Amino acid sequence: MNKKMILLAVVILALASLACSININLPSMNRKTGPTVTDTIFVPLPEDAQTSADVELNFGAGTLKLKPGAQDALVDGTATYNVPDFKPIVTVENDHININQGDFNFEGIPSFKQDIVNDWILSLGNHPMSLVIKAGAYKGEVELGGLSIERLEISDGAAKVDVVFSKPNQVQMSSLEYTTGASEVSLEGLANANTTDMTFRGGAGNYKLDFSGELRDDMDVYIESGVSSITVIIPEGVNARVLTEGGLMTVGTDGSWHQTGDTYQTTGSGNTITLHVKMGAGNLRLETGNP
């Protein structure tokens, strides 16, 4: 048996084990705990209401909840933890804000056993900002609807994350970039992000990209992934075109999709979503959802 046949056999076995989804188990770590402490995190609004802020969250592991609603503040919330090294550090330099998870250096991509606590609950103010989230293995609930995000960048490791735009972003977002590893990631209301340029890079995981919402302009989406399961949902009545690349992926459709070679299309009115999907191997499912 030559090398190509061996490689093909390995990929077929990987796809068979993939089936419709991938089980994501976050790795565990041990760390000496202490009393549970809750710190307040408060960053005031910039003095110049017209100046955009750069907000960066560096979160190693734990639970992160992010939502709109900060009143007279750029960031307002709490961090609850029981490992002293997890005490958050807030740095403000002009319009650049960094909120870091302490001085503890993680080895690899850890998550926590039940006796370790590290929970951030943060609200963001409706002020123009670039938002960067860098995380390791964590569980995230991120609601960004109705904010004024000019650029969004998220990168994480082995994570379970829901990102939702329940309302339209109030300014045009120059770019939306998400990079993840062996994760379960759900992105919903992506049309509400109000961006023309989106990039999603994944490893081996389960990913859902739901483009519901108000599509104010044409949108170009670039998806690159390894052995994974990806579901793309386009609302009924929206123009969308999906160009696929990757000879070892399988593509399934549900709804009003039409195939021509490696291109899948659904027709409607208004602006168009164009998706470029490149997968090493795995399952790509295209669905049409409620308008």
Q: Using one digit for the tens of pLDDT, what is the confidence trace for 85-138?
A: 999 999 999 999 999 998 654 444 444 456 889 999 999 999 999 999 999 989
Mean pLDDT over 250-276 rounds to: 95
> Which of 103, 134, 165 is the C-terminal boundary of a domain?
134
Q: Are 152 and 102 in a shared domain?
A: no
Q: Model pTM?
A: 0.88
In a domain, 19, yes or no: no
Number of domains in the chain: 2
For the residues of 151-173, what is the DSSP string, one character each?
EEEEE-SS-EEEEE--S--SS-B
Rounded to 5°, the CA angle 259-264-266 comes to 100
Given a cut of 70, whether residue 160 has pLDDT beyond it is yes
Q: Are 85 and 167 in a shared domain?
A: no
Identify the CA nearest to 231 among candidates 185, 287, 277, 170.
287
CA-CA distance, 262 to 18, in Å (whole number)? 22
Residue type, position 235, single letter = P
Tokens of 133: 């989230």
**Over the range 252-280, which residues count as b (16 or more CB within 10 Å of their CB) and which as e?**
ebeeebeeeeeebbbebeebbbebebebb
Q: Are 160 and 270 in a shared domain?
A: yes
Q: Are 44 and 152 in a shared domain?
A: no
Q: Using one digit for the tens of pLDDT, what is the confidence trace for 185-225?
A: 999 999 999 999 999 999 989 999 999 999 999 999 999 99
Alpha carbon of 59 to those of 95, 139, 230: distances in Å?
20, 11, 25
Average pLDDT, the chain: 88
Please name the residues in contact with 282: beta carbons below 8 A apart, sequence gap of 6 or more. Answer: 15, 18, 225, 226, 227, 228, 229, 230, 248, 249, 250
Number of H helices, E strands in the chain: 1, 21
Q: Where are the alpha helices (DSSP H) in the chain?
A: 3-18
> Which of 77, 99, 134 is the C-terminal boundary of a domain?
134
Which residues span the domain enclosing 36? 29-134
The pLDDT value given to residue 289: 87
Given a cut of 50, whether residue 267 has pLDDT beyond it is yes
